[in-house]
């Protein structure tokens, strides 16, 4: 995993560390059970105070991303806890059954004839993005509609309690909300966790060209703006060269015409009117690997 830190940023070093580690976990750059560099190693490598690294590691542990193992170090925590009760184990087997059936490539009608109670459920006819953040759902909808021709809808987590609304739906969620959505869904309904793009890998090829240039970041989602600022400053972009604009505000385009490039989310790229001149660089949150996964689900009907 690559780490970048900027001492001149208004974003504290420990927060730069936390953001990069969290994004690396969500995108798969860091796997469950993987050991993070020691506090001493990071402090020596980047010439930062050990207390700063410790503060970042403590924050990651408080938020549930990592765990400290005495005498061994800091490790990435598993995203999904192993089932412990008979009900949880049954639920896991049901989910595994559906995954195995798809791998058999058997006709859907043959499967329905042998499942029994499952025959009472209608075949899936749409994906359902479930997330508590309405602004993020807009971004995910824009991205998923580019990846699949299968209908895609969105809903808040509360919809998981409405069995009628779930009919024909294949629920989707982002990794950080898997447990929340899984707990809200009725037992037996499969949940697909969307793979997240590595911001680190996406940014790496552009990093040399972005340094010393005036850059814009535009989005209606506050978290996109915050994460982009953290990643760019950690990558060495001077804070004074960043222009962050929330598209929810009037005259948000002001000043962006002077930038060399504008980084934005996919929804903003499709719906916003940008000034002529700067290069628009949409960052897709969902990884390209999701396309093949969504195709397998949409064809199984």
Q: What's residue 111's pLDDT?
A: 72
Whole-angstrom distance between the N-terminal and C-terminal Cα of the chain? 39
Tell me what percent of the residues of the chain surpass a pLDDT of 70: 94
Pairing type for strands 66-69 and 73-76 reads antiparallel
Asked if 93 and 54 touch (Cβ cutoff 8 Å), the reply is no
Task: Give DSSP secondary structure letters for 230-279.
Answer: HHHHHTT--GGGEEEEETTSTTTTTTGGG-SEEEEEHHHHHH--PPSSSE
Q: What's residue 293's pLDDT?
A: 86
Give, in order, the Cα–Cα distances in Å from 147 to each of 173, 224, 225.
15, 21, 24
Q: What's residue 244's pLDDT?
A: 97
Q: What's residue 93's pLDDT?
A: 73
The CA distance from 157 to 133, in Å, is 9
CA-based angle 84:173:108, to the nearest 5?
Answer: 85
Asked if 12 and 233 touch (Cβ cutoff 8 Å), the reply is no
Cβ neighbors of 216 (< 8 A, separation 6 or more) are 242, 243, 244, 245, 255, 256, 259, 261, 262, 263, 278
Question: Order of strands, edge to edge, in the sheet holding 279-283?
Answer: 242-246, 215-219, 261-265, 279-283
Q: What is the mean pLDDT of each run of 10 residues along the chain (301 residues)?
A: 87 94 92 94 94 96 93 87 72 74 75 65 86 97 95 94 87 95 86 93 88 94 96 89 96 96 97 94 95 80 54
CA-based angle 250:254:255, to the nearest 5?
Answer: 155
Structure pTM? 0.76
Q: What's residue 139's pLDDT?
A: 98
Axis-axis angle for helices 134-147, 290-299 (nearest 10): 80
Number of helices (H) and strands (E) in the chain: give both, helices first. 13, 10
Q: What's residue 267's pLDDT?
A: 97
Q: How many residues does the chain have?
A: 301
The CA distance from 301 to 288, in Å, is 23
**Segment (H or E) for 192:** strand 192-193
Asked if 239 and 231 touch (Cβ cutoff 8 Å), the reply is no
């Amino acid at each position: 995993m690559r780490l970048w830190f900027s001492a001149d940023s208004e974003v504290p070093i420990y927060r730069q560390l936390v953001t990069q580690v969290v994004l690396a976990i969500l995108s798969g750059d860091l796997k469950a059970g993987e050991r993070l560099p020691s506090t001493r190693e990071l402090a020596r490598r980047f010439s930062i105070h050990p207390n700063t690294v410790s503060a970042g590691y403590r924050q990651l542990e408080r938020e549930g991303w990592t765990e400290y193992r005495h005498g061994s170090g800091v490790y990435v925590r598993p995203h999904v806890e192993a089932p412990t009760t008979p009900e949880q184990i049954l639920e896991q087997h049901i989910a595994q059954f559906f995954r195995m059936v798809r791998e058999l490539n058997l006709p859907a009608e043959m499967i329905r004839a042998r499942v029994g109670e499952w025959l009472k459920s209608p075949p899936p006819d749409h994906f359902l993005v479930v997330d508590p953040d309405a602004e993020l759902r807009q971004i995910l909808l824009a991205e998923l509609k580019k990846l699949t021709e299968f209908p895609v809808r969105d809903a808040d987590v509360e919809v998981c309690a409405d069995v009628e609304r779930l009919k024909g739906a294949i629920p989707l969620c982002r990794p950080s909300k898997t447990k929340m959505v899984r707990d809200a869904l009725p037992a037996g309904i499969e949940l697909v966790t969307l793979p997240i793009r590595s911001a680190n890998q996406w940014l790496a090829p552009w990093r040399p060209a972005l340094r010393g240039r005036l850059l814009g970041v535009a989005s209606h989602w506050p978290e996109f703006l915050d994460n982009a600022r953290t990643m760019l400053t950690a990558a060495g972009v001077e804070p004074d060269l960043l222009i962050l604009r929330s598209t929810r505000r009037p005259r948000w385009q002001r000043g962006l015409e002077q930038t060399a490039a504008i980084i934005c989310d996919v929804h903003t790229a499709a719906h916003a009117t940008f000034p002529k001149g700067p290069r628009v660089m949409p960052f897709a949150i969902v990884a390209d690997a999701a396309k093949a996964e969504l195709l397998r689900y949409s064809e199984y009907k």
